[in-house]
């Protein structure tokens, strides 16, 4: 194939499609992977900061025609710009990994500058809620912070980045007006990284006090602690972090520091405080971190006890159940499981699969599963029946049919829209799969046709059951 023909083929695929193909090929051919990495590294090292800024600026020069045939005008092609965005930021991260800090930070700085100069109200025709724009701005500042925190970033470099960033933030109100990112506060936080001692501390404390929108309190708290450590005020830093451990990122940061110092008991104390007073949505993560600490110390009893807590506080979890079953001696398992099940309040799954039902099916058998299904009386009852009824022995399937009919009748009284009628049909078709359900289906079809005859959408779904 001639080069021009190959080039034409390449131009027909998107960057992401080409990237996926190269990744797949690299996994299959290690020699190609090595050569490709070397090629990328050479390209990055050969690129100057000026080249980077020109590449980013060129991305924002892409235009397309807008308006009508009578009022046609050219506008920024935001689809093309945002498609380039991930590619540009990926290059920035590659440059950072290779220690090319000037190029790495030039990508996001130039992107923010071009974005602020190009964006206008009409841009929302591309992204009317600004979510993609916000995400791209957040990606940019994350990369800038990573570069600023690089061990290779000296004081002069940080100051240069801080000055340019502050200039971009000062020259535009775009980021604030549309709530894309609080660039001014971020610029002040980065400025603090160029200061030392009390000046840096004062700058961060000012930001913490303001509680500005879009500013992560966790980042500010961690940055203040980092400054305190740099001032050899380790006790003050640890105390400050401890006072803010209900912020998940702060808790994770402090626990990581304590683990590095092998102060495991202190790390457990911090995690326990977070579990007790923090947001419950983070409980699983913190308990798993405790398990990691106990495992590293060989504290087997504490590992098992924490898995038990994890199961209960997670409202039942099938994977934790399997782990506990492996850890508890077989002759103790039944009594242990009985107590565990009694202590646990289980969640119900919207999709039908239910961890409590799964455990009952394995551990206690069909009769116990049947009894459990009969006791369920909530909005997910039909999903449970649809999922588990056919897994029961025939005798229990037959006995469950009246409960199934009762649930369908209740569901029918609530059904008002087409998707609800489709759900009714779906669940009635599952009822048909049970042994001895033929008469039940006839009764329900007759009842529903009489009671809901003025609902044509429902009637159409019922007719599909007849024709199946």
User: In whole angstroms, how far apart are CA 17 and each of 31, 83, 93, 322?
Assistant: 22, 12, 20, 40
Residue holding tokens 């130039």?
A: 110
The answer to whether residue 399 sits within a structural domain is yes
Of 173, 194, 215, the domain-final residue: 194
CA distance 458 to 68: 44
pLDDT grade, residue 1 (50/70/90)?
very low
| Torsion angles phi and psi, residue 455, rounded to 5 | -115, 90
* 141-156 pLDDT, tens digit each: 999 999 999 999 999 9
- Residue 383 is predicted with a pLDDT of 87
Residue 322 domain flag: no
Residue 65 tokens read as 């025609």
Mind listing the pLDDT tens digit for each residue in 349-388?
A: 656 678 999 999 999 999 999 999 999 887 788 889 989 9
Could you give the number of structural domains in the chain? Answer: 2
Q: What is the value of pTM for the model shown?
A: 0.74
Tens of pLDDT, residue by residue over 2-33, are: 566 776 767 767 766 777 777 887 788 787 77
428: containing domain: 380-467
d(CA 66, CA 64): 7
Share of the chain above pLDDT 70, in %: 92
Q: Is the pLDDT of residue 70 over 60?
A: no
Q: How far is it, in rounded angstroms, from Cα 80 to Cα 14?
A: 10
Six-digit token string for 264? 């495991």
CA distances to 61, 246, 321, 346 from 311, rounded to whole Å, are 55, 22, 7, 10
Q: Indicate whether 168 belongs to any domain.
A: yes
Q: Do the domain assignments include residue 144?
A: yes
Percent of the chain with pLDDT strictly greater than 90? 73
Q: How far apart are CA 215 and CA 194, in angstroms?
A: 19
pLDDT in tens, 297-350: 999 999 999 999 999 998 888 999 999 999 999 999 999 999 999 999 987 665
pLDDT at 468: 57
| pLDDT at residue 396 greater than cutoff 60 | yes
Residue 234 lies in a domain: no
The alpha helices in 98-130, defined as continuous H runs, are 101-118
Is residue 159 domain-resident?
A: yes
Residue 418, in any domain of the structure: yes
CA separation for the pair 108, 116 (Å, rounded): 12
**Residue at token pair 């500042």:** 141
Q: How far apart are CA 109 and CA 272, in angstroms?
A: 41
At 66, the pLDDT band (50, 70, 90 cuts) reads low
Of 163, 194, 225, the residue that ends a domain is 194
Per the document, the length of the chain is 468
In a domain, 336, yes or no: no
The residues, any chain, with a CB within 8 Å of residue 22's CB and separated by 6 or more, are 36
Q: Which of 138, 160, 194 is the last residue of a domain?
A: 194
């Amino acid at each position: 194939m001639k080069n021009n023909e190959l080039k034409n083929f390449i131009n027909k695929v998107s960057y992401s499609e080409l990237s996926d193909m190269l990744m797949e090929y690299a996994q299959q051919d290690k020699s190609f992977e090595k050569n490709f990495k070397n090629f990328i590294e050479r390209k990055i090292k050969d690129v100057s900061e000026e080249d980077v800024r020109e590449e980013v600026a060129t991305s924002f020069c892409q235009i397309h025609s807008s308006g009508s045939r009578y009022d046609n005008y050219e506008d920024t092609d935001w689809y093309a710009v945002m498609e380039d965005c991930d590619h540009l930021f990926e290059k920035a991260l590659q440059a950072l990994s290779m220690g090319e800090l000037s190029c790495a930070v030039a990508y996001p700085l130039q992107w923010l500058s071009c974005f602020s100069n190009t964006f206008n109200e009409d841009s929302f025709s591309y992204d009317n809620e600004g979510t993609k724009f916000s995400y791209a701005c957040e990606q940019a500042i994350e990369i800038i912070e990573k570069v600023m925190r690089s061990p290779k970033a000296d004081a002069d470099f940080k100051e240069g980045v801080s000055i340019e960033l502050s200039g971009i933030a000062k020259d535009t109100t775009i980021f604030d007006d549309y709530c894309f990112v609080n660039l001014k506060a971020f610029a002040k936080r980065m400025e603090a990284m160029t200061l030392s001692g009390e000046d840096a501390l004062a700058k961060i404390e000012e930001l913490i006090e303001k509680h500005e929108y879009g500013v992560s309190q966790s980042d500010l708290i961690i940055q203040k602690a980092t400054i305190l450590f740099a001032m050899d005020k380790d006790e003050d830093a640890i105390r400050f972090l401890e006072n803010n451990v209900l912020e998940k990122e702060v808790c994770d940061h402090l626990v990581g520091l304590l683990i590095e110092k092998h102060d495991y008991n202190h790390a457990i104390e911090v995690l326990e405080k977070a579990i007790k007073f923090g947001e419950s949505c983070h409980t699983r993560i913190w308990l798993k971190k405790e398990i990691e600490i106990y495992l590293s110390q060989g504290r087997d009893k504490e590992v098992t006890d924490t898995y038990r807590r994890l199961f209960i506080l997670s409202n039942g979890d099938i994977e934790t159940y399997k782990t506990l079953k492996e850890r508890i001696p077989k002759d103790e398992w039944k009594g242990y499981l009985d107590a565990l099940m009694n202590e646990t309040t289980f969640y119900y799954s919207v999709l039908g699969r239910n961890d409590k039902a799964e455990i009952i099916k394995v551990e206690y058998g069909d009769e116990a599963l049947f009894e459990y299904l009969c006791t369920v009386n909530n909005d997910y009852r039909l999903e449970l029946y649809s999922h588990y009824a056919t897994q029961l022995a025939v005798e229990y399937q037959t006995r469950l049919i009246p409960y199934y009919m009762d649930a369908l009748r209740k569901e029918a009284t609530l059904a008002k829209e087409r998707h609800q009628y489709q759900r009714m049909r779906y669940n009635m078709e599952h009822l048909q799969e049970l042994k001895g359900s033929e008469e039940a289906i006839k009764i329900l079809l007759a009842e529903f046709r009489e009671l809901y005859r003025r609902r044509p959408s429902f009637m159409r779904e019922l007719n599909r059951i007849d024709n199946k």
